[in-house]
Homo-oligomer: A and B are copies of this chain.
Amino acid sequence: MLKNDLFLRALKGEPTERVPVWMMRQAGRYLPDYMKLKAKYDFFTRVQTPELAAEITLQPIDQVGVDAAIIFSDILVIPQAMGVEVLMEEGKGPHLPKVIANQKDIDALITTGAEQSLDYVYKALSLTKNQLGGRVPLIGFAGAPWTILCYMVEGKGSKTWEKAKQFAYTQTREAHSLLEKITNITIEYLKNQVKAGADAVQVFDSWAGSLSPEDFNTFSKPYLVRIAEELKGYAPVILFPKGSWYALEDLSKSGASALGVDWTVSPAMARQFTGNRITLQGNFDPAKLLSPIPEIEKAVNKMIDGFGTQRYIANLGHGITPNIPVEHAKAFVEAVKNYKAKN
């Protein structure tokens, strides 16, 4: 039994006595205790060792006071499960030496049962669930198919995702074949995460915003919608199409339980696009956590004034960055908890 189910009630559209809050990348480099483990174990050791992943996942719960835990992992475990090598280079981000360039590369990917190789994630979830002891709900996650394709085709991070888009625009059939495969595995992966203890799952479409509305409708939306539909009966799904303000309206009718919103959409506009059909989550600019604490408090109050206190989960509009003082992260969480409606 959960002692604090504010987050899940907000996801279900049920009334909440106060706004639940968590932060994307809350188990991460801004936390000194995380840095201690980072000094001892490399990235994929931390991800693949259930005891370490659980320990890291739990750190922000007591230290920052968030209303949900999110399993420490990475979206690129899916390409790994498909047989693609992923290197994590310190200070440089991910590197996939062998990129997908054609149908032959796609045919060579592991598909059937690929999600079974991610057993360490399920173990980490079960262990975390156990150690949480019902304090707060546990969130599982995956990358959106378009975002995973971006990395698999580009081989590393990019400002423009030109190669990924070139692949989509010139080898459209192949792109859909790859997106299909990623989607199938992601659905099984997320179902397994729920079976292992995740109370909800979030799908990160971090590079959705590289696409025009029309191309988003072609290369991203259908796969997000399929994931949301297939997860019904398993757990609530949060879709986060970063940079794609134009997708909010359509996705509010997708069967997902909530949508993530980034800071380029004002709370009022986000509600306008989604017509109060769905729970919204977001959208504090992480860079704004560098502001003096009284400014953070003011901005949090304004954000909640805009979204309203119901069908709303306070969060950042993107992951918290390593340069944020822990006291500022705490101030953000506290400001949400202390929010008093004006009327």
Query: Which residues on A are within 8 Å of B, measured CB to CB?
Result: 157, 159-162, 165-166, 169-170, 209, 211-215, 243-246, 263-266, 269, 285, 287-288, 290-292, 295, 302, 317, 321, 323
B244 in contact with A264 (CB, 8 Å)? yes
By the criterion CB–CB under 8 Å, are B321 and A290 in contact?
A: no
> A215 vs B165: C-alpha distance in the bound complex, in angstroms?
30
Q: In the complex, which residues of chain B have a beta carbon less than 8 angstroms from the beta carbon of A266?
A: 212-214, 246
- Closest chain-B Cβ to A219's Cβ sits at a distance in Å of 12
Contact B243 A165 (CB under 8 A): no
Stoichiometry, copies per complex: 2
Query: Lowest 3 CB-CB distances: which A-B pairs, in order?
Result: A165-B287, A212-B263, A169-B291
Q: Are A288 and B169 in contact (CB under 8 A)?
A: yes
CA distance A147 to B263 in the complex (A): 18
Contact in complex: A264, B165 (CB < 8 Å): no
A-B contact pairs, 29 of them (CB 8 A): A157-B159, A160-B287, A161-B287, A162-B290, A162-B321, A162-B323, A165-B287, A165-B288, A165-B290, A166-B287, A169-B287, A169-B288, A169-B290, A169-B291, A170-B292, A211-B264, A212-B317, A213-B264, A213-B265, A214-B266, A215-B285, A243-B264, A244-B264, A245-B245, A245-B246, A245-B264, A246-B264, A246-B265, A246-B266
Closest Cβ of chain B: how far from A182's Cβ, in Å?
20
Docked pose: A243 CA to B285 CA in angstroms: 15
- When distances are taken between beta carbons in the complex, the residues of chain B under 8 Å from A169 are 287-288, 290-291, 295
With A165-B285, A287-B165, A288-B165 as contacts: A264 and B321 at CB distance below 8 Å: no
CB distance from A305 to the nearest CB of B (A): 12
Of A157, A244, A245, A317, chain B has the most CB atoms within 10 Å of the CB of A245
